[in-house]
Chains A and B, each alone.
Chain A
Amino acid sequence: MRLLILVGTAAQFAARVILEAVRPPYELRETVRQLFELGCRSLPLIAASGFAVGVVLSMHTRASLARFGAEALIPAGLALALVRETGPLTAGLLLSGRIGAGIGAELGAMKVTEQIDALEAIAVDSFRYLVVTRVVACVIALPILTSVMNLTGMLGGFAAETSITGMPFRTYFRLAFSSIQFSDLIPATLKTAVFGFIIATVASYLGTHTTRGTEGVGQASTRSVVYSSILLILANVLLVRLIFFFYPV
């Protein structure tokens, strides 16, 4: 029963986010600030992780394709794997940790210290100012960060490949990009906008409903990561199914 109530109120919360996001007044300055805080500050993590993932994927791809004498397909194979699935999902899960935990903790701390009440008392719509801005910022940031992850992943793949075969930079990326079509890149990248919505909405909901002081703040932060990660993975299954429906192989 409690789970049903939680799901119901969370769904109402999510619906309200969408409604308030499309209706003025818009908190543009705060949204841009959140885009910087959540998006730009995540770049080092995404770039470093993408590079590392690219190196590891390249090694695994080499090991698999070498059995069939198809090492020449490594750049294309890696690029496709990154762009279609590994990049979006890895970026989403990494950011559910960084952004989700951060939003959950920040809004949870604001809730238990009455800062949200203070905003309302100063006649500021706390839902628009705190929640909608973060959700919009994440919806914008995730596809951009995913693209960064894809690019740095390919760089990592290049680094791994060139260290073994000495393949030139231009050759590697020509082979990599030649394999990528619109149906590979755009839907997979745009689905991360849905990931951004999930991460920010779940974390904002848990943060703004925090109770029980610092213990509650910790729980809000942890649950933000866990719940958003689970929902993200489930949403990914549905979204991939949808992508294949519109872009069958």
Chain B
Amino acid sequence: MVDAPAAVEFQHVTKSFGARRVLDDVNFEIDAGRSICILGRSGTGKSVTLKHVVGLLTPDSGHVLVEGENISRLSSRDLSRVRQRIGFVFQNAALFDSIPVGANVEFPMRRHTKLSEGEIVARARQLLAQVGLEREYDTMPADLSGGMRKRAGLARALALEPAILLVDEPSAGLDPVTAAEIDALLVALRDRSQTTLLVVTHNIPSARAIGHELIFLDQGRIIAQGTPAALEASDNPLVRQFMSSEGGG
């Protein structure tokens, strides 16, 4: 009996921008339905890691596999197929600012599904309600707060019911209550829909709530990996310092 491939797998991934090495021999894997939170100081390659999963960046060496497929070797058609199974919430939401919030959430469905107009609108409204933005359907992104844009970005990322969800700083700009609601939503997705989560966060309470496992990146290398309890007991003082903080995103 053949084991199912990991949902996401990094094999000796190295990436540099000019002279600056951002990822240095990174190895990890996430099984389907599991969640990993990536922690680390600013500028240590966390967002770059997420972008490799969806093929926005290709490694200088090593391989990134998504459901067993090497992302950087896929044809454009196959890459498109794989990308439709991944939802990506960008750090600053990256909403399309020329169209309203509702149209942003509808966009993936209009491009990639055969749902009727009524079904698309209904699903978009449902997704916005899930993230607490049911009143902002016709609002332009520029008129939203940063936290609201992040939530709208999450709604858009969920439009195609992705098997893998990549989230860059889910709690950034959110008040503690809303941040906890988003954490609960992500955990429910993971548990109910078996969605694989790869989350970049500075928020330790969120990381503890969401992550089955935590990865700590420092200067492009993984310096600690394990359960929240294991990282709290880490030999590395930077990791212990991070884990002992209750700081938010």
Contact = CB atoms under 8 A, between A and B. Distances in A.
Contacts of A113: 92, 94, 97
A123 interface: yes
A52 B92 CA distance: 46
Chain A, interface residues (CB within 8 Å), range: 10 to 19
A216 B98 CA distance: 20
Contact of B90 (A106, A117, A125): A117
B92 to A, nearest CB: 7
A118 B112 contact: no
A124 interface: yes
A21 to B, nearest CB: 16
Interface in A106-125: 106, 109, 113-115, 117-125
Interface string B137-179: 0000000000000000000100000000000000000000000
Contact of B86 (A106, A109, A121, A125): A121
Interface stretch (B21-29, B34-42, B76-84, B232-240): B76-84
A120 B90 CA distance: 12
Contacts of B88: 118, 121
Interface string A155-199: 000000000000000000000000000000000000000000000
Nearest to A109: B97
Interface in B8-65: 51, 54-56
Main secondary structure of the interface of A (DSSP, over half): helix
Contact of B80 (A114, A117, A123): A123
A122 B92 contact: no
A115 B80 contact: no
B196 to A, nearest CB: 16
Contacts of B91: 114
A9 B107 CA distance: 31
A109 B111 CA distance: 23
B5 interface: no
B108 interface: yes
A211 to B, nearest CB: 12
B242 interface: no
B76 A114 contact: no
A109 to B, nearest CB: 8
A123 B56 contact: no
B84 A123 contact: yes
Interface string B93-108: 0111110000000011
Nearest to B51: A117
A214 B97 CA distance: 15
Interface string A111-152: 001110111111111000000000000000000000000000
Contacts of A117: 51, 56, 90, 94
A123 B111 contact: yes
B90 A124 contact: no
A117 B90 CA distance: 9
B56 A121 contact: yes
A10 B94 CA distance: 26
Nearest to B80: A123
Interface in A60-113: 106, 109, 113
A119 B54 CA distance: 12
A114 B90 contact: yes
Contacts of B80: 123, 125
Contacts of B55: 120
- List 9 A-B pairs, minimum CB-CB distance, nearest first: A118-B94, A123-B83, A114-B94, A121-B88, A123-B80, A123-B84, A122-B108, A121-B54, A114-B90
Given A114-B90, A115-B97, A120-B83, 9 more contacts: A113-B92, A117-B94, A121-B56, A121-B86, A122-B107, A122-B111, A123-B108, A123-B111, A123-B112
